[in-house]
Structure 1
Amino acid sequence: MRKTVLYGLGSLLLLVNAYFGTYAYVVTQALLWTQTALQRGPLVMLFALVCINLAFLKFAKRWALNQRELITLYAMLCVGTCAAGYGFVQILINQIPAPFYENYATGGSKFKDYIWPNIPTWLVPRDPAVLNGFFRGNTSLWTPENLKGWAIPVLAWSAFIITIFWTLLCAMSLFRKQWIEEERLTFPLVLLPLEITENGGRAPIFKNPLFWAGVVVAGLLESVNYLNFLYPSVPSIALKPGMGFNELGPLFTERPFSAIGRFTLAFYPSIIGIAYLLSLEVSFSCWVMYLVQKALIIGSTWLGLSESGGSGPTNRMPFIKEQGLGAFVGIALFSVWMARKPFKKALESLERRLPDEAPHDELMSPKTALVGGGAGLLFLTLFLTAAGASFWQSLVYVALYTCCAITLARVVSEAGAGWAWAPMWGNGQFVADVFGQNHLTGKEATVLIGYTSWMNDMRDNPMPHSAEALKMAQGGGLSPRALLKPLLFAAVVGTVAAFWAHLDIYYTYGAATAKVRPALQNGATGPARQTVSLLVSPLLADIPGLLGAGFGMLVAIGISLIRQRLTGFPLHPLGYAVGMTNTMEYMWCPFLIAWALKTITLRYAGIGGYRKLLPFFLGLILGDYVIPTLWGIFGMLTGYQMYMVFPH
């Protein structure tokens, strides 16, 4: 009975979360519900559940949820919410039909010549009436014509997305023991959910005045900016880039320093709170390596080895995006090597045909994880092959995506990261550059660039959240095995809910109207335009880029090996990886502040002083999540577009 209620409540929360989060971001443009490593939606809904649960504990105890049930619901929300975010439906749903919409396909777009013949009919609706309603709005999804037009594409893409979730869940099962029990990664983002769900909500932290001081400080700081947005006479507080002195890039006007590009200051309370939870070596490595990236760009420009800050078509030193990709691959390969025991055990069980028995403390048996993950990888590869790419191109693409997901999970599990990005050299572009753009057929280019580029943005990748769910299970006395069905259930319901929420909202408001977020509609045709450009003017294989990626891979593996042999080595490979991506663009300053505060605290107050201050920083996180949500709800109820606290 309790399990049935739990699944029913989880389904309801996933549906509400998908629709509210989509509406708040796409229409009201007031809240970032997804994208962050610690997702706003699940955390706010968990806090609301805890508050409601306190009432049940007092007046109807038999219906109250315990910590294990609260953790299960939170884990379901985290994984299910990913499907409605960046890197999945939120971008995909705009890019699927865009090349076939008459207003985008006319003029000089050349979509009819280069896109239309090269994409299978089962991946995209083509009926003009269905597309017009989607982009122009003022109609309903729930007409037979619209439902029929979207049915097959939604089923196809849903199968693809759910398989991604399944495959990464299998991979995480193989890494669980190594990361959680052997290496004992810190998992900083699970501390707040565990603290507020203790005793079903009767948590000691709620009695700590420092915790509520952090909530109030973060809430007041953000509320001032909401008031400034509504009433400009109220002074603002420059917490994020674009506010007053926070943009440092324009101050550097002469070469080589002008090559520094975007260089910003930010003071997000929640990110400072998250970074305070990290080990000093990780937080130090993250902000230092970002500054090293900027120094490399300036140095390469000064030496004449770089143009346009390293992003020019020829002189690209110091190959930042290439180093970033190489670092991600290197960390993934090193992680697999460190976790070789469960992989070896799974292979042995296959060779000896041993019974498939899942230990109580594992999400699934090593054999199931290996076979299931392999089947998932094969399905993803064959899906892309059926869509038009070659088998080997698809295999490289899927392998690269998996490597980036593994490293991203490692980054979030050990560095929190706040806003974790994948490498800037996207999977499809990498495959195109490796095989040579001049060797790609129209179908191959369309699939690799035009219809899978949404996978390059991995801010809502589910693997980090699966890792955190397994860590929370350990902290909350819950068997990892008990999370398998809820997480798979959440992946399916979350994917269906994501498509429903986006389609329903766009048929009401129009995906190409001024009523929805401009960034989403502006990016709808970007991959198709890039595909056309690639086919019209293809380039040769990118040998310098591959060398740059190889260098990044060797550096990441080298730092990992040095850390195994030299205790106290100050640099961390994760810092190098995130320092070569966009992750630290807005995060480096909060990480520096938190690192300095924690260093001073430990030096003068010791570990006891750090623990006493910890509730304040957890309060900063919660206050920076809950209070802006209340402002966002106010905007939705009143019809006002609201200030957005994060990222810009």
Structure 2
Amino acid sequence: MARVPTDAKRTTTREGQYVTWRAVLTGLLLMPPNAYFAMQRGIEWSGPPGTISLLYNVVFVLLVLTSLNRLLKRFAPRHAYTQGEFVTIYAMLCVATTLAGHDLIQVLAPVLAYGDRYATPENDWRALFGDRLPEWLIVRDDAALRNLFDGQSDPYDPANLLPWLRPVFWWSVLLILIVLTTLCMCAIIRRQWTEHERLAYPIIEMPYEMTVEGGSARFFSSRLLWCGFALGAGVDLINGVHHFVPAVPLIPIRTINLGVFFTDKPWSGMGWTPLCFFPFIVGLGFVMPVDLSLSIWVFYLVWKVERIVSAGMGWERFIDTSYSSTQPVGAFLTLLMFALFTARRHLRDVARAAFGAPADDADEPVPYRYAFWGAVIGFVCIVLFWMRAGGSPGMVALVFAVYLLFILWGTRIRAEVGPPALTLYRPTHFVVDTLGTGRVGKDNLALFALVQGVMRAFRSHPMPHMLETMKFGRRAGMSREGKLALVILGAAAVAAPMAFWAFLDVCYRRGTYGWFGREAYLNAQAWLYRIDPNPDWADIAMMAGASVFTMLLMFMRTRFLWWKLHPLGYSMAMNWTTEWAWFPIFMGWAAKAAILNHGGIRGYRRASFFFYGLILGDFTMGAMLNIAGLFYGQRIYVFWH
């Protein structure tokens, strides 16, 4: 497996690789259009960029900027941007895109509006939620809500805008606290995962190569890169033309479902099994560590076999989605505990530094003392926020502790595996499953409707991007990384209200279905109608079984050199996004394994440019078609599910 060299102890930095006011200003100017693009495409469900790990809109902006910078390097070299400045811009755009993304404000904002707009005597929501949801976190003005969902209204009409000001302010405060807390967690864990364990960070491979020396001649002059670019962009271009000229044949990259060929039991138990070809996922699958990409598609097929066997044995309940989603919880909690145990010495050093002991942290983005207390204070403020909203202290602390553990593990997966997309189990569901609705309490269950706005699926969470940016900056040789951390936090303070602005502007103009709001209230309603003091023992049993199986996989991997399957692959296999991605990951794995076996590391490094081209071509044409759709007011072609 090819690994990127990691600078375990950096003693020198490259000249000019630091945060500059010019880079910050460029990032600030680019944040509003990127946030608006992410919001509009998400609401239209037209390739929302926040649902994938490598944000295609940010990559497209990097391509444009590095192309322009190559001209500057030629004609005005003194004014050319450095790689460190591109790291700064990348970090700011990632924060802006994720906060406006599909699992944050695109989910959160409809939740704030849906409850009052669609409360009826039949669903009894006013009785269930009316007195339990704080006025300062939701919108209750009838005219403003009606105009939001119906559209065709002026978003800047005071009657529409004023009812949103208070909830937007308080939710922005919460999001900034979450970014602060997770940024400090990144600073705490960075050295352990980057330098001690040397995780691969596959997601930043292509952005790094693109921005070397402000726009690498080696990268952009590669013929293999442009061959891959032509293939990735060509698929999107042909399918985009098909939208306007149906006579042009559509290339079926997502329409094949193997499940339709197996209609008799037990084979029908396999269910929906898509056979997709997403060029960018083939490219990301190639960049992933080969044992991890192998494990993902193998365990995905094992899961399908599990479903077939369950159907044959009459265990229909075990085919249900809830059991498919609870198995990964047991797996990743086991792996997380193991990862934290492995990091125990490093975490002990951080804790000692927090209480005044000397620490070797002069080279860290945030000194350990500030990172530790920043994370603690951020967590305490989050708990106080929800206590003021009406939650009980113990339950709020538990839910958000689980939330931070879940996103910490999601960040670890991104750093180690680099999956094209990743969804995680919802902390609220985990707490309800393990404690029972009776122990959680009605007031807390009602608040869970609002909490889902920030805990739905984690695909758009900024924490993985923040850790990847720290690695990106370090690999680029940046100095003054503490300033980069401040820039990220400042970008979040700007991006949170900016994302709400984008949501209101889009929805008051075109209207919205508010499906995410409906989902949140229906989940909370089901819990409130089913008050049970007992936990869901079946779900707990599935988690426990998955935990035992994960420990078996860990034993096999550490004991036998010939055992290639990684337990991380098992934790990711039963996942909605893996359904879409398993086959292109298989294609990327097969290509990488063959090239490493026959061409060695030199062949791999040369071939990697073709796969970077697949990613870049797919993203570039996909972004251009989405930009065209933004101006035309319609979906032209969605290159990602």
Under a length normalisation based on structure 1, what TM-score does the superposition of the two structures give?
0.91
Amino acid at match of 2:167: P
- Amino-acid identity (%): 30
CA distance in 2, matches of 1:306, 1:384: 39
CA distance in 1, matches of 2:596, 2:215: 30
Q: What is aligned with 2:32?
A: 15
Amino acid at match of 1:26: I
CA distance in 1, matches of 2:331, 2:180: 25
Which among 409, 418, 429 is matched to residue 416 of structure 1? 418
Q: What is aligned with 2:369?
A: 367
Q: What is aligned with 2:198?
A: 184
Distance apart, 1:562 and its partner CA = 4.8
Q: Is the 8 A contact 1:75 1:487 kept in 2?
A: yes
Q: What is aligned with 2:20?
A: 3
Aligned in 2, Cα 1:301/1:2: closer, same or farther, shift over 3 Å? closer
Q: What is aligned with 1:285?
A: 295
CA distance in 1, matches of 2:550, 2:391: 31
Distance apart, 1:624 and its partner CA = 0.5
Q: What is aligned with 1:517?
A: none
CA distance in 2, matches of 1:419, 1:568: 29
Which among 224, 229, 249 is matched to residue 238 of structure 2? 224
1:534 partnered with 2:527 = yes
Q: What is aligned with 1:58?
A: 74
Q: What is aligned with 1:339?
A: 343
Amino acid at match of 1:237: I
Aligned in 2, Cα 1:453/1:79: closer, same or farther, shift over 3 Å? closer
CA distance in 1, matches of 2:605, 2:50: 29
CA distance in 1, matches of 2:123, 2:324: 31
Amino acid at match of 1:63: H
Q: What is aligned with 2:409?
A: 407
Aligned in 2, Cα 1:265/1:208: closer, same or farther, shift over 3 Å? same
Which among 583, 601, 622 is matched to residue 616 of structure 2? 622
Q: Is the 8 A contact 1:197 1:203 kept in 2?
A: no
Distance apart, 1:620 and its partner CA = 0.3
Which among 339, 348, 354 is matched to residue 352 of structure 2? 348
Q: What is aligned with 2:284?
A: 274
CA distance in 1, matches of 2:208, 2:385: 39
Q: What is aligned with 1:448?
A: 448
SS of residue paired to 1:523: helix
CA distance in 1, matches of 2:407, 2:544: 19
Distance apart, 1:577 and its partner CA = 1.0
Q: What is aligned with 2:484?
A: 483
CA distance in 1, matches of 2:326, 2:188: 28
Q: What is aligned with 2:326?
A: 322
Distance apart, 1:203 and its partner CA = 2.8
Report the aligned-residue RMSD: 2.1
Distance apart, 1:494 and its partner CA = 1.7
Amino acid at match of 1:595: W
CA distance in 2, matches of 1:462, 1:25: 17
Q: CA-to-partner distance for each residue in 1:343-400, whole Å, 9 max, x for gaps? A: 211222344x347x78342121222222211222222223233323322222221122
CA distance in 2, matches of 1:639, 1:170: 40
Amino acid at match of 1:85: G
SS of residue paired to 2:187: helix
Distance apart, 1:601 and its partner CA = 1.6
Amino acid at match of 2:268: S
SS of residue paired to 1:236: coil
Structure 2 unmatched ranges of 5 or more = 1-17
Distance apart, 1:280 and its partner CA = 1.6
Q: What is aligned with 1:516?
A: none
Structure 1, 439-448 or 364-373: larger mean CA deviation: 439-448
Q: What is aligned with 1:602?
A: 596
Q: CA-to-partner distance for each residue in 1:480-528, whole Å, 9 max, x for gaps? A: 434211111122122121111111221222224xxxxxxxx33321211
1:464 partnered with 2:464 = yes
1:118 partnered with 2:129 = no
Q: What is aligned with 1:150?
A: 164
Q: CA-to-partner distance for each residue in 1:158-205, whole Å, 9 max, x for gaps? A: 111111111111111122112111111111111111111111114311
Q: Is the 8 A contact 2:23 2:89 kept in 1?
A: yes
SS of residue paired to 2:576: coil
CA distance in 2, matches of 1:369, 1:58: 42
CA distance in 1, matches of 2:46, 2:507: 17
SS of residue paired to 2:234: helix
Amino acid at match of 1:349: A
CA distance in 2, matches of 1:453, 1:501: 17
Q: Is the 8 A contact 1:334 1:557 kept in 2?
A: no
CA distance in 1, matches of 2:541, 2:376: 29
Residue-pair matches, total = 622
Distance apart, 1:572 and its partner CA = 1.2
Q: Is the 8 A contact 1:389 1:448 kept in 2?
A: no
Q: Is the 8 A contact 1:284 1:592 kept in 2?
A: yes
CA distance in 2, matches of 1:9, 1:612: 33
Q: Is the 8 A contact 2:554 2:566 kept in 1?
A: yes
